[in-house]
C-alpha cells in the first residue's frame, strides 16, 4: 500500500486526517472488491451445478402413422365402462311352465289342474267335438312333459245303479285313453280307473250338478 506523503509545511494534524481518509477509502475499495468476487464465485458455482445436473425431459410419444385411427384411452375405473374381456351379463329367461311343473310336487301340480277334464252326455261315452278339443289340448301338454304319467278317472252322475255307473265310468275313461293314444301319447303313460258315482265333483241333484259329474278326470301320478 502506498501511503500519501506529507508535504513540507503541512499541518501535522491535517496530514494525519488525510492519512486516515486514505486508509478508509482503500478499506472500502477492498470490501467492495471482495463482495464482487464472492458474488461472481456464487454465480459460477450455481452455473457449474446446473451444468452437471440438467433437468430431465420426458421423451415425446411417437406420432401415429398417417391414416391411423386415434384411440382415446379409457379409465378402467370410470363408471359405466367395462373391460372388453368381461362380457355383459345376459338376462336369465323366466322358466317355462313345464320347467316349473317338473320342480314341483305332484299334489301342487294337480292342484293347478294343467290337464282339462272331458265331459260327456247323459248315459254316454261318445267323444263329441268339445271333448275332442280338450283331449287334443291335453295331448299337447303331455308332449311337452314327456316324463309325466297320468291316470284317467271315469265319473258319472248319481242316476242309475252303482254297478251300472262303474261300468259307464270305465267306458268313458277308455274312450278318452284311446283317443289320447291315437294322438301319439304312449299307452304306457296312461292308466284308467272308474269311480262311478262315488266321488261327485259338484254335490246336488239337479241338471247342473249331473252335467259337471259326467266326466273323465286327469290326474298326474308320476313325473
- Mean pLDDT, the chain, rounded, equals 77
- Residue range 98-222, CATH number: 3.30.1330.60
Tally Cβ neighbours within 10 Å of residue 214.
Answer: 25
What pLDDT score does 93 carry?
45
Continuous segment of H or E residues that includes residue 46: helix 12-52
Q: Which of 12-16, 40-44, 136-140 has the highest mean pLDDT?
A: 136-140
Question: 123: phi > 0 → left, psi -120 to 50 → alpha, else beta; which?
Answer: left
Residue-wise pLDDT for 98-156, tens only, equals 555 556 899 999 999 999 999 999 999 999 999 999 999 999 999 999 999 999 999 99
What pLDDT score does 72 carry?
55
CA atoms in the 13 A half-sphere facing the CB of 21: 7
Residue 192's DSSP bridge partners are: 152
Instruction: From 115, 141, 139, select the one nearest 215 (Cα to Cα).
Output: 115
What pLDDT score does 147 carry?
94
The mean pLDDT value for 68-86 works out to: 52
Residue-wise pLDDT for 162-188, tens only, equals 999 999 999 999 999 999 999 999 999
φ, ψ for residue 210, nearest 5 deg = -65, -40
What pLDDT score does 95 carry?
47
Amino acid at each position: 500500500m502506498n501511503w500519501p506523503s506529507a508535504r513540507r509545511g503541512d499541518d501535522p494534524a491535517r496530514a494525519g486526517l488525510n492519512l486516515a481518509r486514505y486508509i478508509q477509502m482503500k478499506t472500502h475499495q477492498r470490501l467492495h472488491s471482495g463482495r464482487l468476487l464472492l458474488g461472481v464465485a456464487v454465480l459460477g458455482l450455481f452455473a457449474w451445478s446446473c451444468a452437471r445436473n440438467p433437468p430431465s425431459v420426458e421423451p415425446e410419444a411417437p406420432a401415429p402413422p398417417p391414416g391411423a385411427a386415434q384411440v382415446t384411452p379409457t379409465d378402467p375405473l370410470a363408471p359405466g365402462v367395462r373391460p372388453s374381456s368381461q362380457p355383459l351379463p345376459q338376462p336369465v329367461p323366466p322358466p317355462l311352465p313345464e320347467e316349473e311343473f317338473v320342480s314341483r310336487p305332484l299334489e301342487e301340480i294337480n292342484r293347478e289342474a294343467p290337464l282339462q277334464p272331458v265331459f260327456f252326455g247323459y248315459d254316454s261315452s261318445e267323444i263329441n267335438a268339445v271333448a275332442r278339443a280338450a283331449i287334443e289340448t291335453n295331448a299337447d301338454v303331455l308332449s311337452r312333459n314327456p316324463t309325466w304319467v297320468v291316470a284317467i278317472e271315469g265319473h258319472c252322475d248319481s242316476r242309475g245303479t252303482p254297478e251300472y255307473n262303474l261300468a259307464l265310468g270305465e267306458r268313458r275313461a277308455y274312450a278318452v285313453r284311446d283317443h289320447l293314444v291315437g294322438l301319439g301319447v304312449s299307452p304306457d303313460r296312461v292308466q284308467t280307473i272308474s269311480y262311478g258315482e262315488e266321488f261327485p265333483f259338484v254335490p246336488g241333484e239337479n241338471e247342473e250338478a249331473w252335467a259337471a259329474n259326467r266326466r273323465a278326470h286327469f290326474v298326474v301320478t308320476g313325473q
